[in-house]
Structure 1
Amino acid sequence: MYKFSKQALNISICLSMIFSVFLNSQEVEEVVVTATKQEKSVQDVPVSIEAFTAEDIDKNLIEDFSDLAEVVPGLIVDKAISTGASYSMRGVGSYGVGAAVVASLVTSFNGHSVYASALTDVGFHDLERIEVLKGPQGTLSGRNAVQGLVNLVTARPTGELEGKAELTMGNFNSERLNMVLNVPINERVGMRLATATFKRDGVIDNIHTGNDIDDRDNVAGRLSIDFDISEKTQMELTYDYQKGDDKRQNIGINYCQIDPLFGCSPFTKGVIGQPSHPNGSTSGFFNFAAALNADPTANSYEGVTILNSMDRVNLNRDPDFLQTHEVSQVQINHEINDEYALIVKGTYVVRSYNHLADNDYTVGVQPFPGLFPAGHPASSIPMQWEGCWGGFHNNFCEVTTADRTYEFAYDESETKQGEITLISSLDGPLNFQVGYYYYDNTQRNIYQVQTAAWNLIRDGGAHPYNLPLFGGALTGSGSTDFHIPWALSGFSAAALPALLTGYTTPIPVQGYFNDDHIRIKSKAILGEMYYDISDQTQLTVGIRYSDDVVKDSIFSCLTYTSCNNLSMASRLTSQYVFSPTQVIEADDSTSYKLAVKHDIDDNRMVYASYTTAVKAGGNNPNAQGLPDPYDQEETGVFEIGAKGIFLDGAMLLNAAYFQNKTDGMLISSIVNAGSRNVNTDAEINGLEGNMVLFLSETTSIDVTLLMAESEITNLSLINPVNINNATSRALLPPALGGGLVQRLGAGGVLTVGNTDAGLIYKFAGFMCLVPFNPFAPGGCPNPGIPVDVSGNKLPQSPELSYSIGLNQDFIGENGTTTARLTYRFMDEREGTVYNQPHLKMPEHKFFDATVTYRPNNGNWYVKLEAKNLANDRYIGSWYLASGLQGGNKFATVTEPRTWGLAFGTSF
């Protein structure tokens, strides 16, 4: 890494020498940011920061967070399970999973935190600037930014009567319309109204429904009002509304190589659209328990259509997505006198989200056979029923004849933030800013997975056998409390009267569900002091004291098999009764910053800093509803950097080397029916830089780059889908049949299979190294062998990422045509902490281009734009299911090639 730093310096010197003879008076424009709550040039701020003006946003085709991630090397943004999102910056990410997990990377709107997961689904419009700050920012940022901060700065009223509009139409019948109107109400009040709509047909064909899915239907609006209360006091009001209502995918595809023990082989990636073998998931056992199949090892998905395509899927139902996101904000800027200024800000954010998705990623074609062999009089009973799904939202009923699985996610969130900051502007060498910040988040997050068997088990009255075989005796009884004992009795008619429960399962609880009520409160005192050691050298000392409380009231069950919190009295009501486990994690912490900046001259500076940050702990969701807290995450980052403008203003060159050491970093995996976050230690070292170089008045290039090395320094854990760390399957010994799997025990519901590391036992998707019953007290006595992943790379941490842009103006007699071609590269990266070769994500390479014509005497322009010119598709992120879903490998996918023709005008 140090060697690369030396090489980079040599390269910059060579560039200076080579291009100096060609350069003329064209100069780099410095970007002014408010990252320090004061307007300063990026070149004067001793922080690694990338800032994009409105012009930069336009020329880089940044319409949303995924576009921003392409432009900023090392920034990775993707959808995650349920209502979440995953972020990574400079080789380190927010790896924790769970609604109560505090984000490591903060996304903010005019300086106040907004839901990171929400921003993955909303677009950008009418922004003055995007600021991307790397490393801890807690001594200035209200919400504690442990690994970095992305701040969206909205455009303010200009005080002039003016407006602009842009209409873009492109492939997939896309239509994007952005409009802005500035209205001066009077000399003291100005208003700005901005609207944006985006519609696009689906880019994925669902061959079962005949519809295109993964479409977009977004609408957004923003009202901004600036009011000069007096010469010294200004008030800024902002209201922002965004809504999406369409059939977009959450996590788009699955990979699987079918295996009768694991469900999906943990040793290979497999093919797209292959469902897991039911015997390796919950489906096999529960199909048996529901009397849908006499053989719990049967493959109910045999014969399904496997497309192995990123552009075509085979789903029972199209996905359904609905989200609204609102931000209301007021900021008062008051100049107390020439030496002190006061900023008071309050923000209110609400989010409503729900989605429905097909969770098995296929359409079953094998009708359920029932319990009776062909020729038996009862074999003619059609195994179908009308079942109702959902329970909280996206409710529907349908006739079910074959296997299927749906997932439902729901989120209602409300956040209140308040902040007051005092900023000095003294004549002497000492200045400071100090503030108080308050954060209060209330959230309800629900995630459900429901299968055909679970749907039928909930109410015996719907069972196809109820009337013809039992004369309606099953009516009014249901749940696994009834069906599992009945199945294990061999579906004994004699035992039936004693097993009937007299209650059914509420629709929301007819599978796996996690109902999480979260309250997060944070109070902080924060600030920085600036001391001018000399005219060229400044010392910065920052401090933050935080008091965080995370209250997690969680009710999580896998049907009634693990629903200990739900009392018998509640079950007898056959109604949903919220019965939570409550965990309160209270933490306080102090973090600090020490930085030195030295101005070499008016155009060049160097700096060094050491910054710490602490992220609050929390609680893991699990199907047992047991308290399972995790600890705080503590980060320390050393950074040394240089910023400069060279060649008479024609070249901007910034670079920084950083060392990040994090103790207690959260690493998550899906273990059985819950998310398990564990604390580990990690180190990340890297070098980053950006350059803008004018070769002439009409030609320029821009380059941004990140090189990073990451290492997990202390972690051992059980791989939940490969519990004995095997590398391949093996045949069973002759005593166990010599095949791939063998049924054991009463009803044959326990399955054993062999690997090169020994035997594995599986029951209803649960795995163990010895024979077991997951529904008996104690469950599995030997859940697996921990593997030491110390020395492995962090997931989503590419060693090399860069972006190169070439800009050329063609000046004609009547106007100017500006062309831009961009190449963006991201190195291969690990998909999991286990660093499995088959889950390594490949290199990403994208070409984007724009061509814009502006007349000399006109207020309009036309623009041709295209993204992903080569139409390359890549896996964005892996999300590995637990054994209960057969170890399926879910993946997000990058967008296909898109292009459009835009017309814009202003007045």
Structure 2
Amino acid sequence: MKIAKGMSTVLISSTSVFAAGAAQAAEPVSERGAAFPASAETDEIIVTAQKRAERLSDVPMSITAASGEQLDKRGVSNVADLAKIAPGLTFQPSDYGSPVFTIRGIGFKDISVAVAPAVSVYVDQVPLPYSSMTPGAALDLERVEILKGPQGTLFGQNSTGGAINFIAAKPTSSFEVGIEGSYGRFNQLDGQAFVSGPISSGINARLAVRTEQRGAWQRSATRDDGLGSRNFLAGRFLIDAEPTDTLRLEFNINGWRDKSDSQAAQFVRFAPAVANGYQDLVPALTAYAPAPRNARMADWDPGTNLQRDDRFFQGSVRGDLDISDLVTLTSITAYSDLRQNAPIDPDGVNVNDFLLTIRAKIRSFSQELRLSGKTLDGGIRWMVGGNFQDDSSSDNQTGHYVGTSSGIGPLRFVEFINSNRQKVRTYAGFGSVDVALTDRLGVQASVRYTTSTNNFSGCLYDTGDGLLAAAFSLIAAAPISEGSCVTIDPTTFTAVPVVNKSLREDNLSWRLGVTYKPGSNQLFYANVTKGYKAGSFPTVPAFVPDQFNPVEQESVLAYEVGIKQSLLDRKVQLSGSAFYYDYRGKQLIGYIDGAFGQVPALISIPKSDVLGVEIDGVFKPVDGITITANGIYLRTRVRGDFLANDPFANSVNLGGEEFPNSPKWQYSIDGEYMFPLTADSEAYVGASYAHRSDSVASFGGSPDFRLPAYGLLDLRAGITKGRWRAQIWGHNVTNKFYLQSVTHVIDTVARLTGMPATYGVTIGYKF
């Protein structure tokens, strides 16, 4: 039956930082705040990508790192904004608004909230295991590290694309206070502040808060109405304690609340889910005018409240015990709790073709214990440990619609609930070793074994009005009562009370690498890495139980070679890498053949691959001027023939197609000139331009789903004087129209745009 279809910088390169980071690097710090000896010849920050403190240019992998000050200057306030500074990283909202992060073509686009990502996000190595937990991660930062390529041996499965580790600014041993406020277009009013210092002997604390407020930036295409207000609040409280000379503790309580409006879509065209289906809205949708190329114009149902009510809380405790001068025991314990109530109107029109409210709850507990050390001469560094994670989730989607598919025969329905409940328990053991064979040659190896069990229950439910149950009773062997599950067993044609399924998986992630360092300013490396992303259950309108069948884990076998090089007394710093990924079992939302025709479900592509080259350069031709340029060439493709469905449920062969949201070319250039004004003040001007070539929002080859190429220009200028800083800024100053995603939901093709031009002023003061 056809009803199924309708319900369904300043950028820091990989080897260096900018002048703003050089001051910080003069006294580099570890992830725990302990001082490390500064190198007289380097102006680099220290990173912890391998869970130990190292110079960025000594880490044999592709990493983009940026300091908190640089992120602030560039207007990076969330994970999605990192696409401005990290080549190969892209952001795309899913069809129902959940964030999808992709690195080098590896990402997982699904419509669920409680779904394991392909790019994992951490704050101080504490996991945010689901992408919807990440909006507050960029609060009050020391730096961010973006690790590219599979990171499963150290950061666990679900990091086949890479890992993003935010490093929070730590409590200080002296009293400090900072405050910053911004005012910009659309009555944007942002403020953030921190207070840090000792609260007793050996105990330091830091409290940071941020609020983001903004008026409506979207306008209705058919009436005088606005949407798009921003109401976001985040906070973090840290306590660092040193009870003894050998024991260090870090307590972290953080959370956020989001009561912003969900973004409305732009109407592209009428595309009925069921040709010659129910005609309620067909005249209105046929006559509806496509949205203009104006980012502010969109449409949504009048009188509909699209304000979210999303909340997140996390608590963590980290302990480091020096067993000896050479061995440290580390424990990281964390608990995370996400509550989401998110109404969305994704159809782009002012009539109720489709409305959806996502009500989700996710609880996650994790415990990591590891032992790390080195030999007396430092020639061997090693680590061994284990990890446990226990997650429970409830992901319910309540749909309200009057589309061409909203009924069965003479009986109509207007509401349904897609229900997905999961309990996931994961155990892992890992280890790594780095061996310096000579002063120049080294080898590295790491491994992680992971086993997991995912118990699922779900159904397509009648909401209690009895309409969906009555309609499905027409095709069921027995009447279905109101409020019940309407998913039908195709062998007996009776409704099941609930669908229960389990998925048990294990895998072995590993990495082998070799490094050659002919001098302190040059590094060559080669790595071979195998990583996995866990299997997943979908949140879909399941007419039959098979729609809830999971996809099994996917894997990436990655080959990478790279170089990091400094020239001309570090005035020129270059890095580059070439990589090839053998990608197996790529997961995606699609359609399967069922008893009622084509029905939505998760599917996997057996074979695909990624080929790419990445380059970064930092140039300091004269004092005060810093130019950063970076770029990536990326070729993604499905290997061999693979029959699937496009967004309109038409059968297509995906063989040879590029991956969604994976542009072939991305590059950016940033320049900043800093110059003295007086003895105690200086000024700076800067500009950055980021470009990406065209890509696709979905597999299938439909021209409706092309994302055209675009480039964004940001400008900034500021003054620092003692403890004061003032900056004027503009983002997308040319008001470039660009798309983030395109969807087909029920009867319309609709698109989400990026933000139009914004501009404002920021003033900050540190006591």
Kindly provide the CA deviation profile for residues 424-470 of structure 1, in whole angstroms up to 9, marking residues without a partner as x.
12125333101101111111001122124899x9xxxxxxxxxxxxx
Q: CA deviation at 1:787?
A: 2.9
- The answer to whether the 8 A contact 2:157-2:532 is kept is no
Q: Does structure 1 residue 866 correspond to structure 2 residue 746?
A: no
User: Measured at CA, do residues 102 and 129 of structure 1 come closer, stay the same or move farther in structure 2, by a change above 3 Å?
Assistant: same
The equivalent residue for 1:759 is none
Q: Does structure 1 residue 441 correspond to structure 2 residue 391?
A: yes
- The answer to whether the 8 A contact 2:326-2:374 is kept is yes
The equivalent residue for 1:835 is 701
SS, match of residue 312 in structure 2? strand
Q: CA deviation at 1:574?
A: 7.9
Amino acid at match of 1:442: S
Which of 189, 198, 214 matches 2:228?
A: 214
Give distance in 1, aligned partners of 2:519 and 2:289. 67
Give distance in 2, aligned partners of 1:66 and 1:281. 40
- The answer to whether the 8 A contact 1:73-1:826 is kept is no
Give distance in 2, aligned partners of 1:721 and 1:198. 35
Which of 313, 320, 324 matches 1:326?
A: 313
The equivalent residue for 1:91 is 105
Amino acid at match of 1:90: R
Q: Does structure 1 residue 235 correspond to structure 2 residue 249?
A: yes
Gap runs ≥5 in structure 2: 1-14, 16-39, 463-467, 487-494, 593-597
Q: Does structure 1 residue 819 correspond to structure 2 residue 663?
A: no
Q: Which residues of 2 match residues 535-546 of structure 1 at below 5 A?
A: 535-546=439-450
Q: CA deviation at 1:248?
A: 3.0
The equivalent residue for 1:399 is none
SS, match of residue 57 in structure 1? helix
- The answer to whether the 8 A contact 1:410-1:446 is kept is yes
Q: Which residues of 2 match residues 550-699 of structure 1 at below 5 A?
A: 550-557=454-461, 559-560=468-469, 561=471, 571=481, 579-620=497-538, 621-627=540-546, 628-669=549-590, 674-699=600-625
SS, match of residue 140 in structure 1? helix
Give distance in 2, aligned partners of 1:168 and 1:547. 47
SS, match of residue 55 in structure 1? helix
Q: CA deviation at 1:97?
A: 4.6
User: Measured at CA, do residues 306 and 613 of structure 1 come closer, stay the same or move farther in structure 2, by a change above 3 Å?
Assistant: closer
The equivalent residue for 1:252 is 265
Q: Does structure 1 residue 808 correspond to structure 2 residue 673?
A: yes
Q: Which residues of 2 match residues 212-611 of structure 1 at below 5 A?
A: 212-249=226-263, 252-256=265-269, 258=270, 264=271, 276=272, 280=275, 283-284=278-279, 299=283, 301=285, 307-308=291-292, 309-316=294-301, 317-364=304-351, 404-428=353-377, 429-452=379-402, 484=409, 510-557=414-461, 559-560=468-469, 561=471, 571=481, 579-611=497-529
Which of 184, 195, 215 matches 1:181?
A: 195
Give distance in 1, aligned partners of 2:474 and 2:147. 45
Q: CA deviation at 1:900?
A: 1.2
Q: CA deviation at 1:605?
A: 0.8
Q: Does structure 1 residue 901 correspond to structure 2 residue 761?
A: yes
- The answer to whether the 8 A contact 2:461-2:485 is kept is no
Q: Which residues of 2 match residues 705-744 of structure 1 at below 5 A?
A: 705-720=631-646
Give distance in 2, aligned partners of 1:708 and 1:178. 38
Give distance in 2, aligned partners of 1:356 and 1:641. 45
Kindly provide the CA deviation profile for residues 485-543 of structure 1, in whole angstroms up to 9, marking residues without a partner as x.
579xxxxxxxxxxxxxxxxxxxxx85342111011221110111112211211111111
SS, match of residue 186 in structure 2? coil
Give distance in 1, aligned partners of 2:355 and 2:552. 33
User: Measured at CA, do residues 512 and 107 of structure 1 come closer, stay the same or move farther in structure 2, by a change above 3 Å?
Assistant: same
Q: Does structure 1 residue 848 correspond to structure 2 residue 752?
A: no
Give distance in 1, aligned partners of 2:276 and 2:392. 34
- The answer to whether the 8 A contact 2:687-2:716 is kept is yes
- The answer to whether the 8 A contact 1:555-1:625 is kept is no
SS, match of residue 605 in structure 1? strand
CA RMSD of aligned residues (A): 2.9
Give distance in 1, aligned partners of 2:476 and 2:502. 21
Paired residue total = 702
- The answer to whether the 8 A contact 1:706-1:801 is kept is yes
Kindly provide the CA deviation profile for residues 768-822 of structure 1, in whole angstroms up to 9, marking residues without a partner as x.
xxxxxxxxxxxxxxxxxx4322122112121111110111012223521111111
The equivalent residue for 2:117 is 103
SS, match of residue 899 in structure 1? strand
Give distance in 1, aligned partners of 2:485 and 2:656. 50
User: Measured at CA, do residues 579 and 109 of structure 1 come closer, stay the same or move farther in structure 2, by a change above 3 Å?
Assistant: farther
Give distance in 2, aligned partners of 1:837 and 1:638. 33
Kindly provide the CA deviation profile for residues 55-96 of structure 1, in whole angstroms up to 9, marking residues without a partner as x.
221222211122211221221112213362222111232234
The equivalent residue for 2:661 is 796
Q: CA deviation at 1:283?
A: 4.3
Give distance in 2, aligned partners of 1:834 and 1:826. 21
SS, match of residue 156 in structure 1? coil
Give distance in 1, aligned partners of 2:637 and 2:456. 31
- The answer to whether the 8 A contact 1:444-1:517 is kept is yes
The equivalent residue for 1:769 is none
Give distance in 2, aligned partners of 1:162 and 1:27. 30
User: Measured at CA, do residues 160 and 109 of structure 1 come closer, stay the same or move farther in structure 2, by a change above 3 Å?
Assistant: same
Amino acid at match of 2:676: I
Give the share of equivalent positions with the same residue, in percent.
Answer: 21
SS, match of residue 139 in structure 1? helix
Kindly provide the CA deviation profile for residues 566-601 of structure 1, in whole angstroms up to 9, marking residues without a partner as x.
996871678999942111010111121100111111
- The answer to whether the 8 A contact 1:793-1:835 is kept is no
Kindly provide the CA deviation profile for residues 187-207 of structure 1, in whole angstroms up to 9, marking residues without a partner as x.
200010101111011110136
Kindly provide the CA deviation profile for residues 312-364 of structure 1, in whole angstroms up to 9, marking residues without a partner as x.
23322242212111121110011100121011001111111112233443234
The equivalent residue for 2:626 is 700
Give distance in 2, aligned partners of 1:30 and 1:837. 45
- The answer to whether the 8 A contact 2:185-2:759 is kept is yes
Give distance in 1, aligned partners of 2:115 and 2:284. 37
User: Measured at CA, do residues 805 and 578 of structure 1 come closer, stay the same or move farther in structure 2, by a change above 3 Å?
Assistant: farther
Amino acid at match of 1:705: G
Q: Does structure 1 residue 787 correspond to structure 2 residue 652?
A: yes
- The answer to whether the 8 A contact 2:428-2:449 is kept is yes
- The answer to whether the 8 A contact 2:387-2:429 is kept is yes
User: Measured at CA, do residues 342 and 844 of structure 1 come closer, stay the same or move farther in structure 2, by a change above 3 Å?
Assistant: same
- The answer to whether the 8 A contact 2:121-2:164 is kept is yes
Q: CA deviation at 1:629?
A: 2.7
The equivalent residue for 1:778 is none
Q: CA deviation at 1:29?
A: 2.3
Give distance in 2, aligned partners of 1:307 and 1:315. 12
The equivalent residue for 2:64 is 50
Q: CA deviation at 1:173?
A: 0.6
Amino acid at match of 1:526: F
Q: CA deviation at 1:717?
A: 2.3
User: Measured at CA, do residues 894 and 787 of structure 1 come closer, stay the same or move farther in structure 2, by a change above 3 Å?
Assistant: same
User: Measured at CA, do residues 869 and 655 of structure 1 come closer, stay the same or move farther in structure 2, by a change above 3 Å?
Assistant: same
Whichever of the two has the greater Rg, that structure is 1
Give distance in 2, aligned partners of 1:453 and 1:792. 31
Amino acid at match of 1:118: S
